[in-house]
Amino acid sequence: MRHKTLGWAGMVCILAAYILLTFGYFPIPTTPYHMLNLFGCIALSIDVAHAKQWPAFTLQIVFALVAAWTILQETIHEFIFWF
């Protein structure tokens, strides 16, 4: 049953990120936007994996990897230009 709660929480994170970006609360896709997507995709992937919905699981993992890569790139960029 906890996987369903994670699924709902993940869906809320992904929708919140999209809505906040669409209505201008995130001026461009920034680290908070990608963090919401990352956590949302991970949580949702747990639910769909439990249900053995492998295409949806694969999609969530790919989205999570893209978000994680982008966060890593932004972090490296900020670190390099901090000096």
Q: What is the pLDDT of residues 2-34, one digit of tens each?
A: 888 999 999 999 999 999 999 998 877 788 999
Return phi, psi of residue 71, to 5°. -60, -45
Token pair listed for 42:
């991970």
Given the structure tokens 């906890």, which residue do they identify?
A: 2
How long a stretch of residues is the chain? 83
Tokens of 83: 């000096």
**Domain total of the chain:** 1
Element (H, E) at 2: helix 2-22
What's the pLDDT tens digit per position in 37-46? 999 999 999 9
56, 48 Cβ separation under 8 angstroms = yes
Distance, CA of 81 to chain centre: 25
Q: What is the span of the domain harbouring residue 46? A: 2-82
pLDDT band at 80 (very low <50, low <70, confident <90, very high): confident
Confidence of residue 83 (pLDDT cuts 50, 70, 90): low
